[in-house]
């Protein structure tokens, strides 16, 4: 069995055993829940980098097993499909599958104040990105963590990931967001995020794709606004618009010298539907 496949199975098994054992030991009630979404996006954007200027659509689904106050374990799949053949040299149509398994939990620190966190592993697979040896090129595998301080005012959040397979590099995103209740049960969520990584990780994302030419540090700043509306507890719709700026001088110079779809600043957006059970 390939080493990557072994790691995937062992990680998922460890998550399942840990959460299930905690639930049984503490007589927690097990509950299954799920969430899914479908989005049409004006571009393919990853961590503030516009890698494809053409529209694409994303499908996402997750399945969770909750163990009450002990949190939950889950697995998810995110998939990208280009709506044009613009990236016909290496990527076309249904080209990316991101599999993840994770643990989620949290605890209350005061009335209406809660720390929520998530830890897991993501396995990226790019269909159509070819090398000389195989038609399906497995790329980064990341261990990640996510934490946010939920409160009635503004929610700070932090995401950090380490790719142990390809780049041996790290990336992090910090932000501040707030849910604002509007008339007709609509929610507006402005979110300001700042992201960055070391030179090894950023060299895998930006031209000229050479860690000697890319300086680690902050790579982008983005301001987004999301409108969401749930018709009931099972079905909702949303729309988002964002403005992103590349904040790294060396990356900006690499973008100037590159003829692809990268831009130093750009606006992009998505519209989509949500389902939950």
CA distance 187 to 272: 15
Looking at residue 208, what is its pLDDT?
86
Q: Kindly list the distances between the CA atom of residue 221 and the CA atoms of 126, 192, 209, in Å, as whole numbers in the listed order.
A: 26, 8, 20
Looking at residue 6, what is its pLDDT?
53
Looking at residue 68, what is its pLDDT?
77
pLDDT band for position 226 (cuts 50, 70, 90) = very high
Looking at residue 10, what is its pLDDT?
55
CA distance 20 to 26: 10
Q: Which residues on adjacent β-strands are paired with residue 240?
A: 226, 270
Q: Which residues on adjacent β-strands are paired with residue 196?
A: 172, 218
CA distance 262 to 249: 14
Q: Kindly list the distances between the CA atom of residue 24 and the CA atoms of 10, 41, 68, in Å, as whole numbers in the listed order.
A: 21, 42, 11
b/e burial code for range 213-252 (CB count within 10 A of at least 16 → b): bbbbebbbbbebebebeeeeeeebebebebebebbbebbb
Average pLDDT over residues 238-265: 91
CA distance 140 to 163: 6
Which residue is it, tokens 């749930």?
230
- Asked whether the predicted pLDDT for residue 25 surpasses 90, the reply is no
Q: What is the DSSP letter of 18?
A: H
- In tens, the pLDDT along 40-82 reads 999 999 999 998 899 999 999 999 999 777 899 999 999 999 9
- Listed as own residue / partner, the contacts of 25-30 with beta carbons closer than 8 Å and 24 or more positions apart are 26/67, 26/68, 26/70, 28/67, 28/68, 28/69, 28/70, 29/68, 30/65, 30/66, 30/67
Average pLDDT over residues 2-15: 54
Q: Which domains does the chain have, with CATH numbers?
A: 3-276 (2.40.160.40)
- Asked whether the predicted pLDDT for residue 253 surpasses 60, the reply is yes
Average pLDDT over residues 166-195: 96
More confident residue, 25 or 215: 215
The two three-digit tokens of residue 102, written as one number: 């994770």
Looking at residue 134, what is its pLDDT?
47
Q: Whole-number mean pLDDT of the chain?
A: 87
pTM: 0.86
Looking at residue 129, what is its pLDDT?
57
Maximal C-alpha separation, the chain: 60
Looking at residue 240, what is its pLDDT?
98
Q: Which residues on adjacent β-strands are paired with residue 231?
A: none
Check: CB of residue 172 under 8 Å from CB of residue 161. yes
Average pLDDT over residues 74-91: 82
Average pLDDT over residues 251-268: 88
Looking at residue 189, what is its pLDDT?
98
- Asked whether the predicted pLDDT for residue 168 surpasses 70, the reply is yes
CA distance 128 to 87: 10
């Amino acid at each position: 069995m390939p080493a990557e496949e072994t790691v995937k199975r062992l990680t998922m098994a460890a998550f399942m055993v840990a959460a299930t054992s905690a639930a049984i030991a503490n007589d927690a009630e097990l509950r299954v829940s799920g969430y899914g979404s479908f989005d049409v996006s004006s571009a393919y954007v990853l961590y503030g980098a516009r890698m494809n200027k053409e529209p694409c659509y994303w499908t996402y689904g997750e399945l969770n097993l909750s163990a009450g106050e002990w949190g939950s374990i889950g697995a998810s799949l995110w998939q990208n499909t280009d709506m044009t053949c613009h990236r016909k040299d290496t990527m076309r149509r249904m080209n990316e599958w991101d599999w993840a398994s994770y643990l989620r939990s949290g605890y209350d620190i005061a009335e209406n104040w809660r720390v929520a966190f998530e830890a897991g592993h993501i396995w990226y697979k790019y269909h159509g990105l070819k090398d000389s040896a195989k038609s399906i090129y497995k790329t980064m595998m990341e261990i990640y963590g996510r934490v946010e301080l939920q409160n009635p005012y503004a929610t700070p959040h932090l995401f950090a990931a380490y790719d142990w397979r390809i780049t041996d590099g790290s990336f992090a995103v910090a932000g501040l967001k707030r849910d604002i209740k509007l008339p007709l049960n609509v929610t507006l969520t402005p979110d300001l995020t700042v992201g960055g990584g070391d030179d090894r990780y950023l060299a895998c994302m930006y031209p000229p794709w050479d860690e000697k030419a890319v300086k680690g540090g902050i790579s982008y700043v983005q301001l987004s606004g999301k409108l969401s509306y749930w018709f009931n507890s099972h079905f909702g719709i949303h729309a988002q618009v964002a403005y992103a700026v590349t904040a790294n001088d060396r990356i900006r110079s690499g973008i100037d010298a590159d003829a692809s779809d990268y831009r130093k600043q750009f606006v992009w957006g998505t519209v989509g539907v949500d389902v939950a059970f």
